[in-house]
Structures are given as structure tokens and as C-alpha cells.
Structure 1
Amino acid sequence: MMRQVSLGWHGPSVSEVCFGSLAISPLQGRVSLAEGVKVLRYALEQGIDWIDTAEIYDNYSQIAQALQHHPEVKLVSKSYSVTAQEMSASIEKARRELNRDVIDFFLLHEQESALTLKGHQGAWEELRKAKGDGRVKYIGISTHAVDAVKAGALLPDIDVIHPIINHQGLGIIDGTLEEMLAAIRFASELGIGIYAMKIFGGGHLAAHPQEALDFIRSIPWIQAMALGMSSVEEVDFNLKYLAGQEISEELRQSVTYRERKLYIADWCQGCGRCCEACPQSALSLEEVVGGGMVQAVVEAGQCVLCGYCGRVCPHFCLKIV
């Protein structure tokens, strides 16, 4: 039986591990639709009882297929909506495509600061309304920023925050690991549920998964973690390790993480859309030597391999390999 946790003072009881579905979504393209469904169903059979997705992941139909025999599983979705009208449409899209009358959690996606939250006030008010009329049970934000955790903790009716956190502080866009931990503690002490994202740093820390998992487990203000998994072996390794079970050398070797990177094809036209979409500011435009044009380049140390850039490229130049 997987360890159950209470997500904040007023949140539900959930498994310590949330299935992060970005890893099986078309946005990352690691596995086929059918393979992703297989992995997700396997994870649910092992006791994971909630799934993290987002409108941008474009995998609602994949999740709905996996959930055909698991109506008890809770769902988290997220949206970049700014206005109340946009948020209402996002909620309805999730309800319709996930075949759920009620979405368990709905979050403002990738908030950056108090100013960003202010700009999304209309969407937040619609989330509060949806919580009041029963379309959504719990509301919150996801973020890669210290300031957004601190400001988000003061939002009216907020239930949950989904921050980036890992033992090297990779991916935090506006501060240090220590500052993020202090912000998480502040939010948690207000009774807000905290579940961590990118604990493997987008793959940069995946060569030593035990250290990454142990770090999150050691933080008393974090109740749960979303883990992106794209194979049955990854599910087995993570859940066995967290349960304190013996891990065979064969299983350990099967999840030895190969280095992944963002590939930018040489036909890049230098439009800059990827740079605007990158939450980590890992992409920039540089002049091609002797070419008289610019192309996108990536700072590998800043990239967390989310794949958001590939979604906006009009020429399909970017992919994670």
C-alpha cells in the first residue's frame, strides 16, 4: 500500500506520488500514446491515485482512456488562462475531454510573481467561482519562482501550490534553493498543500535518483511529489525505493538514465517564438557565423527539458532527444 498524505490542512488524502503525465504526453514524445496509457494504468494499479496534467500537454484523451476503470483517481489540470472567460473555457474543456463532471484540482499554470498573479486575477476569480459551484474541488498555482510561491500563498481560497524544487535548485528562475525552501515553508505553515515538481531537475539529476527522492522526503513542508515516468521500470524503481523495498540490480540498471538534451535543427529560422515560450530563459537567438541570420541556441544548464518550446515552433525544429 502506497503511503498516503494529507495535502495541506484542508486538502484530500492522496498518494505521496502523483503521476506527472508530461513524460507520456505528445509534448515530450518519449513514448507512443498506447505505451503511455499502458504505463499510466500500471502506475494506478500500484497505488498512485492522482494524475498531474495541463491543457498544454494535449493529453486529456490519453488520460481519459487510462482512467476507464479507475473513476476514483483524482485529476490535476492547469491552464495559462488570463481572463475569467478563458478560464471557464479551460475548465469546460478539461471536464469534457477527461469525462469528469468535477476536476479535483485546477491550477494557474507557471505563475512567475505577484505581478503575474495580478494579471491573472480574472482567471483566479473564475477558479474561485468554479470551486464554489462544484466544477472544481481545489484550486492553486504551479510555478518555477520563489516570488510566486510567496505571493500565491496569500491568494484568497488557495488550496495547493506546485513548485519546482530539487536538491540543486535547478530551474528556479528568481532565487536560490534556500529562498525557495523558505517560501515553501511559509506557504505550508498557512495550511496550503505542497507537491513538488522537477525533483530530477528535468533529467539533469536523474543519474542519482535516490538522492533526489531522499531530498524531497526530507523537507517537512512538502507532502507529495509529481514524478514523470515513461516506463513500467521507472514506476517500479521509484515506488519500490520510496517504500523501502529491495531493488534488484537488473531494475537499477534498467532505469539508468541516459543523458537527454534539447535538439535544435539546423533549419531553424530564428523567429524567436521558442525564446518567448521558455520559462527558464534557456533559449536565445545568436547570429549564425557567416550566415547573416540568427538561430535559436540553448544553454543546456538552464534547460529543464519541459518541451514547451517545441509546441510553439512553426517549423518543428525543437525536440527532446
Structure 2
Amino acid sequence: MKKKKLGNTGIEVTPIGFGVLTVGNTQLNLPVEEGANVLRYALEKGINFLDTAQYYETYPYIRQALKDSPYKPVICSKSLDLTYSQMEFAINEALEEMDLAYIDIFLLHEVRQDPDWDDRAGAWRCLVEAKEKGLVKAIGVSTHHVDVAEKMAAIPEVDVLFPLINFKSLGIRKGDGPGTKEEMAAAIEANARAGKGVFAMKAFGGGNLTGSYLEALDYVRDLPGVDSIMIGFGSKEEVDRIVEYAEGTIDPDYIPDVSKKRIRIDQGDCEGCGACITRCPNKAIFRNGNGLAQVDPSICLTCGYCAPVCPVRAIIMF
């Protein structure tokens, strides 16, 4: 699989990366050995780019996949922390738990509109200094917000942008409201022109667009400035299909079987706004004891009407 340079970082990545969140305890919750086997299979098939995060608790999968392995993939991790000391702990934790001497990319995780950037000044300063010390090769942010992506293009220390984008604009935010794919695409291109490496998340809108497999991938792949697309995998078969896609050998009529996928709401992301409850045509979403939205799978139609109204992209399908 051909590799592309990630902006001006000097880091080379495959056009498809492996989002390790999928195998972890908030989604498929695979046993470590099983999840690591899927990871290692992806490495064997040529994928060299892995994305994880402190919040995902998936470092053990990566460590196991790389144990006694000849592969040295590019690894990106992220932290939601605000302060210098918290970020310092997060970096050291990642290095220790994945048994690494350095980590290729480390990001501020899910930066939202101002004042979130300013509130995380301590964590950002830690990343800048960690790069100077050689603990991290490249630094940047992940975000669902157009306004944040736009701002990053003008910040010299930002090496990498990891934005959310898909052909239905699912989960894209701007300020306190929704953003559009056109706005995010323009921000991505501006970052690329500024020399930032860009790899995209949620091409399938948290799984809700998987039924439009080729359309979803083609849209993001063809955006000016996108160097790689991060995709979550749960099986070797899914890896095989994405490799075929990347190499141009996939059946042009391919449509994945999504009949066994179910709508779920990530309890760590849900803010309890109730928008999905109002939108659900079959009254399959309710507030649980924690005041958060939850799906009753026995009556859910898997129509996906709820996903576009969620302001924080907490609604996923797998």
C-alpha cells in the first residue's frame, strides 16, 4: 500500500489508518488477544497508521499486537486533559503502556470552540515541550468543530489536524450549532496549504453511513488536503475490504451487510440534551437512570434518523 507524507511532519502514513477505539470496551469490547490479532492482521496487510487515545483504554491491544512483531507503525494518541501535569502524565502513560521510546503523534483530544483552546493552554505547552524533548514527533488537535479547524491553520506549532468529516455532515459542529461538510472541507484545505498533516475521522459517521460504503470513502478520500482516513475495524474481513478499496481492487458494487449492526449511544459522550429522543420515530430512545439517552434495541428500527440531530456525535452504529 502506497504511503503519503503527513503534511510537513516527515511522517509517512498509509491512506487508511486503524482506529483502535472499535475493539475496546466502549464498542466491541473484544478480548485483548482477539483485538490484537485484528490489529496485527491489519499491519500484515500493509496498514501502518494506528489511532488511539487515553480515554479509549486500548493501549493493551496495541502493545500485544506489537509484541515480538517486526512492524513499527505510526501511532497517534490523544488526551482530554487540561493542565501541563495531566498531559505529562498522559504522554508518559502512553509510552509505558505501549512500551514505546517515543510516540509519533500526540493530540489535544476533541477540542471544541473557544474557550476550550485557551482552557487547555497548559496541556498544549506540555505537548510543545514534549516534542522539543523528542518524546513526541508531531502535535496537534482532534476536533469535530469547523471553527477550531479553521483556527489551527494559523497556529505554527500545530503539525497535525484530525477533523471529523463525512458526506452527510453527521457530527460536524460550528460554534454552538451544526456545521457543514463544505465548511469543514474548506478548513481542511486551509490547514493543508499551511503545511499541516490532515487525517480524517468518522467517514462513516460513527457507523451510520456504512451502508453507503464506497460513497462515504470516496467523498473523504477525494477531499483536497486529506492525507489519510482513520477507520475502525472489528474483524479481519473488514480489514480485507478496506485494503481492497485502498488498492483499487474492490468490487465496484460492494455493499456491506449492516443487518446485524445496532444503534448505540456512547454514554461517555452523551450530554443528555434529548434531541435524539424527540427525533426517534419509534420512541426507541429513552432517558436512563443517569439522565442520558439510551436505545431500546427491541423496538429500534435502525433507521438512523437520530444520528444527524446529536450535537456531540454520541450516536454510533456497530
TM score, norm. by length of structure 2: 0.83
| 1:67-146 → structure 2 map (5 Å cutoff) | 67-68=66-67, 69-146=69-146
| 1:212-251 → structure 2 map (5 Å cutoff) | 212-247=216-251
SS at match of 2:137: strand
The corresponding residue for 2:283 is none
Contact 1:202 1:305 in 2 (8 A): no
Range with greater deviation from structure 2 (26-35 or 226-235): 26-35
Residue 168 to residue 246, structure 1, CA distance change in 2 (3 Å)? closer
The corresponding residue for 1:35 is 34
1:274-315 deviation line (CA, Å, top 9, x unaligned): 4x84379677899xxxx9x984336443459977x9xxxxxx
Residue 167 to residue 24, structure 1, CA distance change in 2 (3 Å)? same
1:235 and 1:95 mapped to 2: Cα distance? 26
Residue 294 to residue 27, structure 1, CA distance change in 2 (3 Å)? closer
Range with greater deviation from structure 2 (22-31 or 162-171): 22-31
Aligned-pair CA distance for 1:226 = 0.4
User: Which AA in structure 1 matches 2:180?
Assistant: T
The corresponding residue for 1:260 is 262
1:149-173 deviation line (CA, Å, top 9, x unaligned): 0122233411100000111111102
User: Which AA in structure 2 matches 1:125?
Assistant: R
SS at match of 1:227: strand
Aligned-pair CA distance for 1:26 = 1.3
| 1:207 and 2:203 are equivalent in the alignment | no
Contact 1:27 1:57 in 2 (8 A): yes
| Structure 1 stretches lacking a partner, 5+ long | 265-273, 310-318
| Structure 2 stretches lacking a partner, 5+ long | 279-286, 295-305
Range with greater deviation from structure 2 (10-19 or 295-304): 295-304
SS at match of 1:110: coil
Contact 1:162 1:197 in 2 (8 A): yes
Contact 1:7 1:14 in 2 (8 A): yes
Aligned-pair CA distance for 1:37 = 1.0
Range with greater deviation from structure 2 (132-141 or 68-77): 68-77
1:60-104 deviation line (CA, Å, top 9, x unaligned): 111100011045212100001100000000000001000001011
TM score, norm. by length of structure 1: 0.83
| 1:296 and 2:303 are equivalent in the alignment | no
Contact 1:283 1:297 in 2 (8 A): no
| 1:190 and 2:194 are equivalent in the alignment | yes
Q: Over aligned residue pairs, what C-alpha RMSD do you find?
A: 2.8
Residue 248 to residue 30, structure 1, CA distance change in 2 (3 Å)? farther
Paired residues, what number?
292
